[in-house]
């Protein structure tokens, strides 16, 4: 997996700081002109409000770009303007006071004292998690084995899980490919392969997952695997679905699940600075400057924390927090205000409207990273416990139904299509009865894994019941949804499960309904369930659309 390019991020941060300094002169000139235009007899309230907003922005951004004294000065001046605005309209501010105020504005131009460069070391010390992880890119795997059957079978099975597979039969081939090609995300090495690990210098720069396959699990094989730095030793024959799950879990642990943070701020330079600071700490941050798009963006990006400015142009942060809390599925999402507001009463008022914390700008980079990562970590832990099924990592029954309500509301508002699919493993009872419950669990996990691999990131997948799954597919008509689910059906049927010396396969049936039928959530579920029932009745191993009458055929034909 590629590493975060810290140098590029630091260069970009320095560029932002320079750009900020360049626009600062213009901003201070504009402030000075506005201040000098104030006259005692007729204080222009519109001009005062504009002065207050500009000073507020300056107090928030100065410190971030290395000018903390500028922040302090702007904050003091902002307080004075606020007092004038809140006073009786008849109040006359003496001319000397206005002159002195304008001089104080001009004096800000003299503030050039710079803080020591911001805490990039602190940023570096934070857990470095790779941000490109959740991009949904296909993972690559090399299979190194002298056994052509193992290479072929395992390779084909991993392709079903959307891995790019390269099959190699000797250490020399691997050495040649390692020089010529990018190293893979995962490497599966057959313990029977002679000479691997001794000469393969490229192993030192391999940072992916290394799995050793062995026919016999004993101390010697495990010891040589440990010397090689293997992450896991598995006994062959191995279930490809188990292997794919293990590799995925290890890649995830290795940091391919960066925290997702949404920054809502209309000061774009400042927001970009925060984004880069969080990226340097290994998080994935996105900036939203158009508050009206907040619901769509939260639904699409699924942040694990929102950094919310209190005063956005035309909107109040607390109103946005309230809107987010209207959606059941986002009730626990951490919202942290990031604002130049120092008035405690206002901070408390803002906090009472659905947020979790209040950070006062300017905030140090290290503090920002610390607060965000601690809260995002806790949220992820809690969300996993509350919403995710422990066997499959999919949504539990309740949360997937909540997700359907939310997706339907959005689809209606955007006049977009939406489909649901109800999926059930065929004759699952027989699997349990014949091969045992543990093997049944493996089959359930394999299907969950396949669904996660094959469907879009925006699709929601839940374990609806024991061996029944519910998939919500936004922006998909039923015919499109059917194609996707049918692809999963074919791949699932091709998976081979190993039990002792036996090999068995399973199939699934599915029913698909879309919003065109009836857009009440319960009606969609009933329609999909009826289609699933029709698929079972018509011989299983098929996907049926709601309202469709499938041709019946013999099972297994
Ligand atoms: N291993 C395992 N089995 C489960 C789990 N949850 C439910 N089951 C079993 O899944 C089986 C479901 O069987 P049925 O609903 O009768 O139907 P089926 O055998 O799948 O047959 P059809 O749906 O008609 O194709 C039951 O035997 C349950 O005990 C689970 O978490 N793990």
Q: What is the ipTM of this complex?
A: 0.91
| Coil vs helix vs strand at 96 | helix
Question: Would you call 407 a catalytic residue per the annotation?
Answer: no
Q: Closest ligand 1 atom, CA of 426?
A: 25
- pLDDT at residue 130 in the model: 31
Supply the residue whose CA is at minimum distance from atom 32 of ligand 1: 441
Question: CA–CA separation, 389 vs 448, rounded Å?
Answer: 11
Question: CA–CA separation, 336 vs 406, rounded Å?
Answer: 23
Half-sphere exposure of residue 345: CA atoms within 13 angstroms, side-chain side: 0
What does each C-alpha distance from 390 to 232, 247, 472 come to in angstroms?
A: 22, 18, 20
Beta strands in 433-542 (DSSP E): 460-463, 468-474, 497-499, 502-504, 508-514
- pLDDT at residue 95 in the model: 85
The residue among 424, 518, 410, 426 whose CA lies nearest residue 473 is: 410
CA 525 to chain CA mean position, Å: 28
Distance 12 CA to ligand 1 centre (A): 55
Evaluate if pTM is beyond 0.90.
Answer: no
Looking at 304, 329, 341, 467, which residue is catalytic?
Answer: 467
R_g of the chain, CA atoms, integer Å: 29
Which mutation among 391, 433, 444, 467 tests ligand 1's pocket best, with the greatest number of atoms within 8 A of CB?
Answer: 467
Would you say the CB of residue 427 lies under 6 angstroms from ligand 1? yes
Question: CA–CA separation, 168 vs 196, rounded Å?
Answer: 12
Distance 429 CA to ligand 1 centre (A): 5
Would you say the CB of residue 437 lies under 6 angstroms from ligand 1? yes
Q: Closest ligand 1 atom, CA of 425?
A: 20
Q: Closest ligand 1 atom, CA of 509?
A: 25
Supply φ then ψ for residue 376, to 5 degrees. Answer: -65, -40
Supply the residue whose CA is at minimum distance from atom 27 of ligand 1: 429
**Tens-binned pLDDT, residue by residue, of the chain (557 aa):** 334 566 677 777 888 888 888 788 888 888 999 888 888 777 788 888 889 888 988 888 887 887 888 888 888 899 888 888 887 666 677 888 888 888 888 888 877 544 443 333 333 233 322 323 333 457 889 999 999 988 998 998 888 887 889 998 887 777 777 766 678 889 999 988 876 666 666 776 677 888 999 988 888 888 888 777 788 888 888 888 778 878 877 776 665 568 899 999 988 888 999 999 998 888 889 999 899 999 989 988 889 999 999 888 788 889 999 999 888 778 889 999 988 877 788 888 888 888 888 888 888 888 898 899 889 988 988 887 888 898 888 999 999 998 898 888 888 877 889 999 999 999 999 999 999 998 999 899 999 989 988 898 789 999 999 999 999 999 999 999 999 999 999 999 999 898 888 889 999 999 999 987 667 889 999 999 999 999 999 999 999 999 888 887 766 54
Would you say the CB of residue 426 lies under 6 angstroms from ligand 1? yes
Which mutation among 389, 394, 429 tests ligand 1's pocket best, with the greatest number of atoms within 8 A of CB?
Answer: 429
Q: Beta partners for 499?
A: 502
Would you say the CB of residue 444 lies under 6 angstroms from ligand 1? yes
Supply φ then ψ for residue 455, to 5 degrees. Answer: -90, 170
Domains annotated for the chain, with CATH where assigned, are 30-111 (no CATH), 140-254 (3.40.50.2300), 260-386 (3.40.50.2300), 397-545 (3.30.70.270)
CA 364 to chain CA mean position, Å: 24
Which mutation among 424, 464, 466 tests ligand 1's pocket best, with the greatest number of atoms within 8 A of CB?
Answer: 466
Question: CA–CA separation, 205 vs 481, rounded Å?
Answer: 41
Is it true that the peptide bond before 140 is cis, omega within 30 degrees of 0?
no
For 529, residues 6+ apart whose C-beta sits below 8 A from its C-beta are 422, 511
């Amino acid at each position: 997996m590629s590493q975060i390019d810290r140098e590029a991020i630091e260069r970009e941060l320095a560029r932002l700081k320079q750009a900020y300094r360049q626009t600062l002169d213009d901003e201070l000139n504009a402030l000075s002109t506005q201040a000098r235009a104030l006259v005692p007899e007729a204080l222009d309230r519109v001009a005062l409000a504009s002065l207050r907003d500009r000073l507020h922005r300056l107090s928030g951004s100065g410190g971030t770009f290395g000018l903390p004294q500028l922040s302090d000065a702007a904050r003091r001046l902002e307080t004075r303007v606020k007092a004038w605005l809140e006073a009786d309209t008849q109040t006359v501010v003496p001319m000397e006071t206005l002159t002195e105020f304008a001089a104080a504005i001009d004096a800000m131009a003299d503030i050039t004292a710079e803080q020591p460069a911001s805490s990039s070391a602190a940023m570096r010390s934070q857990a470095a998690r790779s941000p490109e992880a959740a991009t949904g890119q296909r993972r690559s795997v090399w299979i190194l084995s002298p056994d052509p059957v193992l290479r072929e079978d395992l390779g084909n099975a991993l392709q079903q899980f959307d891995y790019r597979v390269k099959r190699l039969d000797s250490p020399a081939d691997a050495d040649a490919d390692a020089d010529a090609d990018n190293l893979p995300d995962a490497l599966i090495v057959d313990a029977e392969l002679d000479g691997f690990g001794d000469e393969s210098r490229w192993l030192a720069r391999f940072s992916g997952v290394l799995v050793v396959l062995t026919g016999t699990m004993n101390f010697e094989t495990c010891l040589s695997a440990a010397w090689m730095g293997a992450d896991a030793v598995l006994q062959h024959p191995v279930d490809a679905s188990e292997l794919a799950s293990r590799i995925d879990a290890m890649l995830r642990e290795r940091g391919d699940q960066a925290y997702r943070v949404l920054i809502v701020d209309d000061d774009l330079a400042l927001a970009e600075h925060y984004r880069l600071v969080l990226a340097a700490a290994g998080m994935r941050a996105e900036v939203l400057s158009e508050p009206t798009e907040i619901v769509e963006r939260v639904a699409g990006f699924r942040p694990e924390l929102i950094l919310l400015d209190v005063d956005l142009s035309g909107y109040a942060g607390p109103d946005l927090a309230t809107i987010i809390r209207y959606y059941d599925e986002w009730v626990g999402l951490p919202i942290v205000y990031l604002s130049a507001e120092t008035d405690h009463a206002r901070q408390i008022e803002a906090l009472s409207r659905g947020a979790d914390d209040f950070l006062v700008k300017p905030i140090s980079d290290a503090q920002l990273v610390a607060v965000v990562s601690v809260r995002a970590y806790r949220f992820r832990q809690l969300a996993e416990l509350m919403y995710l099924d422990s066997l499959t990592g999919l949504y539990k029954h309740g949360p997937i139904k909540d997700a359907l309500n939310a997706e339907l509301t959005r689809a209606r508002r955007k006049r977009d299509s939406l489909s649901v699919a109800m999926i059930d493993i065929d004759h699952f009872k027989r699997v349990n009865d014949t091969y045992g419950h543990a093997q049944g669990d493996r089959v359930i996990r394999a299907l969950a894994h396949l669904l996660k691999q094959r469907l879009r990131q925006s699709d929601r997948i839940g374990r609806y019941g024991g061996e029944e799954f519910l998939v919500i597919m936004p922006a998909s008509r039923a015919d499109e949804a059917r194609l996707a689910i049918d692809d999963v059906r074919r791949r699932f049927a091709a998976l081979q499960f190993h039990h002792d010396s036996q090999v068995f396969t399973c199939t699934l049936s599915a029913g698909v309904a879309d919003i065109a039928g009836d857009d009440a959530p319960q009606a969609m579920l009933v329609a999909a369930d009826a289609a699933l029932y029709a698929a079972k009745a018509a011989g299983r191993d098929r996907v049926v659309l709601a309202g469709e009458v499938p041709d019946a055929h013999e099972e297994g034909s």
